[in-house]
């Protein structure tokens, strides 16, 4: 008789876990409170405009392809993507514009021409980013940090020999100020702290590994949009026999002794309620607080400061802008003040850095002819009960002012439709504690060790995946969490 596995949550880590467990011979059931899979990695349509709801940057595509390959499938038959020629377009309010080319030397030369920063500084930074990644990848990203075996193998000893290269005892900003002469280049590379919801003035310089993903490996675009990652993996999972139960919320995990014994649902379902193993893709804080309220609570981890959240405007814009690309950044004039507002004052800054993603640049049917689908993101504090209605109204005006200034037109005149996602709705739709996008923040050098393990020390058959546990948030790390957790099932 097949062993059985329940997955709580159909986020990308939950889907990846289901695929891996199905390949291990498990009968897998996935329970999702929403009517759709993917969590943040979903999409919606409004008046002819299609929007990817959440993650907009695709890196490390081999991690998605691996899920097809271990299943004996050709990834191209399910999912296809292109490598981008440029990573991002940058704008400053004084009219300076810069294109971050995918080619390293072209990127470095562009920075030298536009910002008078020697290209050798940029190339050295990208080389150093690769070194940091190579030191940490197999030691920290592919293995559990909470198993003793992780620290006694060839990869570990190689990592120990190169620990001094990680810059764990200085901040990202301090390291970048040492490297670069021009404050705008510092700002450009400081922004990578936001890729895991952190503050470049606090997070360790180890986080300078992140540019390696875009410039040394590459930034990519799924031909059918980011949601096609979810759609293709769900299709694969279903072909492997995985059963998805939507609109089915798990209310409680019952336990006895050192094992999970039963799932309690919020409504009648035809699914069984007992399983050999349970994997929670729900935010680890809410897993413990809501599903395991009687279990021992890992307070030190659950009470860690949370990452930033986001305020997102989805605008259907009835005009095309040639100066914009797929990824665009309009920088704040005072980056330090912006992060002080986010992490110390827990509010939005009046001159925010604005990110605009426009998938219709590569997928024209995402917008009506002559229009564009704008996904506008402003970094926001996590939800602590702020007056969000007032903050949203003010931020909308700040975004319009900044973007209109840079593009030389009144953007408000071209907005045909609008949807808004804020930290409260992120929290309610994805069960992310406080609406934090990446679980705990990485604003100290020990952050990697202050994420919950991918397994339970108390319950032998309970595992954890997703952006709130090891190794962290974002599509690649969420997929890796599934690999780590399901490998632990074997052991």
Q: What value does the mean pLDDT take over residues 349-375?
A: 98
Count of structural domains, the chain: 1
As a whole number of angstroms, the distance between CA 106 and CA 467 comes to 33
As a whole number of angstroms, the distance between CA 424 and CA 438 comes to 15
pLDDT interval class at 159 (50, 70, 90)? low
| Model pLDDT for residues 234-243, shown as the tens digit of each residue | 999 999 999 9
- Cα angle: 355, vertex 413, 377; to 5 degrees: 15
Residue 175 inside a domain? The answer is yes
What is the DSSP pairing of strand 49-52 with strand 277-280? unpaired
Look at residue 446 and tell me whether its pLDDT is greater than 80: no
Residue 252 inside a domain? The answer is no
As a whole number of angstroms, the distance between CA 219 and CA 61 comes to 9
| Model pLDDT for residues 216-228, shown as the tens digit of each residue | 999 999 999 999 9
Residue 122 inside a domain? The answer is yes
pLDDT interval class at 193 (50, 70, 90)? very high
Look at residue 151 and tell me whether its pLDDT is greater than 90: no
Evaluate the CA torsion angle 66, 70, 71, 76 in order and state its sign: positive
Instruction: Kindly report which listed range (62-71, 233-242, 447-456) carries the lowest average pLDDT score.
Output: 447-456
DSSP codes joined into one string, 164-229: GGG-TTSBHHHHHHHH-SSHHHHHHHHGGGGGGT--TTTSBGGGGGHHHIIIII--EEETT-THHH
Find out whether 133 and 212 touch, Cβ atoms under 8 Å: yes
DSSP codes joined into one string, 273-303: S--SEEEE-S-HHHIIIII-TTSPP-HHHHT
Residue 229 inside a domain? The answer is no
What is the predicted pLDDT for the residue at 161?
62
Where in the sequence is the domain holding 198, given as residue range(s)? 103-139+151-217
User: How much is the mean pLDDT over the chain?
Assistant: 94
Q: Comparing C-alpha atoms, which of 357, 365, 327 is closest to residue 85?
A: 327
Q: Comparing C-alpha atoms, which of 410, 466, 456, 463 is closest to residue 436?
A: 466
Residue 446: strand, helix, or coil: coil
What is the predicted pLDDT for the residue at 169?
87
pLDDT interval class at 292 (50, 70, 90)? very high
Residue 370 inside a domain? The answer is no
Q: What value does the mean pLDDT take over residues 93-119?
A: 98
Q: Taking the model in full, what pTM does it have? A: 0.95
Residue 484: strand, helix, or coil: helix
Residue 155 inside a domain? The answer is yes
As a whole number of angstroms, the distance between CA 382 and CA 184 comes to 27
Cis, peptide link before residue 166, omega less than 30° from 0: no
Residue 181 inside a domain? The answer is yes
Look at residue 189 and tell me whether its pLDDT is greater than 70: yes
Residue 302 inside a domain? The answer is no
Find out whether 65 and 42 touch, Cβ atoms under 8 Å: no
């Amino acid at each position: 008789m097949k062993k059985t596995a329940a997955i709580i949550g159909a986020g990308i880590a939950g889907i990846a876990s289901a695929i891996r467990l199905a390949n291990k011979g498990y009968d897998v059931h996935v329970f999702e409170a929403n009517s759709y899979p993917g969590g943040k990695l979903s999409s919606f349509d409004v008046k002819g405009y299609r929007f990817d709801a959440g993650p907009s940057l695709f890196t490390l595509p081999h991690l998605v392809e691996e899920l097809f390959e271990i299943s004996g499938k050709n990834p191209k038959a399910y999912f296809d993507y292109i490598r981008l020629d440029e990573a991002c377009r940058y704008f400053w309010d004084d009219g300076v514009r810069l294109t971050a080319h995918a080619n390293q030397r072209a990127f470095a030369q562009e920075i030298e021409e536009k910002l008078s920063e020697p290209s050798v500084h940029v190339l050295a930074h990208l080389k150093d980013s690769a070194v940091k990644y190579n030191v940490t990848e197999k030691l920290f990203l592919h293995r559990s940090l909470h198993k003793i075996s992780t620290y006694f193998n060839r990869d570990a000893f190689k990592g120990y020999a190169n620990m001094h290269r990680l810059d764990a005892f200085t901040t990202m900003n301090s390291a970048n100020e040492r490297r670069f002469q021009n404050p705008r280049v510092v700002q450009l590379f400081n922004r990578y702290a936001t890729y895991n919801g952190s503050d470049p003035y606090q997070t360790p310089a180890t986080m300078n590994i992140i540019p390696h993903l875009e410039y040394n490996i590459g930034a990519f675009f799924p031909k059918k949009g980011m949601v096609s990652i979810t759609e293709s993996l769900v299709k694969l999972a279903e072909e492997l026999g995985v059963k998805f139960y939507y609109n089915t919320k798990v209310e409680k995990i019952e336990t006895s002794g050192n094992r999970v014994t039963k799932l309690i649902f919020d409504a009648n379902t035809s699914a069984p309620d007992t399983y050999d193993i349970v994997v929670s893709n729900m935010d680890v804080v809410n897993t413990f607080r809501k599903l395991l309220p009687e279990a021992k609570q890992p307070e030190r981890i659950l009470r860690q400061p949370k990452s930033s959240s986001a305020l997102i405007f989805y605008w259907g814009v009835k005009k095309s802008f040639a100066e914009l690309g797929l990824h665009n950044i309009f920088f704040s004039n005072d980056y330090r003040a912006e992060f002080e507002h986010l992490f110390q004052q827990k509010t939005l800054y009046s001159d925010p850095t604005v990110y605009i993603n426009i998938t219709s640049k590569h997928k024209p049917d995402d917008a009506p002819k002559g229009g564009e689908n704008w996904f506008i993101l402003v970094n926001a504090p996590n939800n602590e009960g702020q007056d969000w209605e007032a903050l949203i109204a003010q931020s909308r005006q700040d975004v319009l002012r900044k973007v209109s200034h840079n593009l030389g037109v009144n953007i408000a005149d071209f907005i045909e439709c609008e949807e808004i996602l804020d930290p409260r709705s992120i929290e309610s739709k994805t069960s992310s504690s406080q609406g934090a996008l990446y679980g705990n923040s990485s604003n100290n050098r020990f952050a990697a060790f202050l994420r919950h393990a991918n397994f339970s020390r108390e319950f032998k058959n309970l595992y954890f995946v997703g952006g709130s546990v090891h190794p962290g948030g974002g599509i690649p790390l969420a997929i890796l969490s599934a690999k780590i957790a399901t490998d632990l099932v074997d052991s």
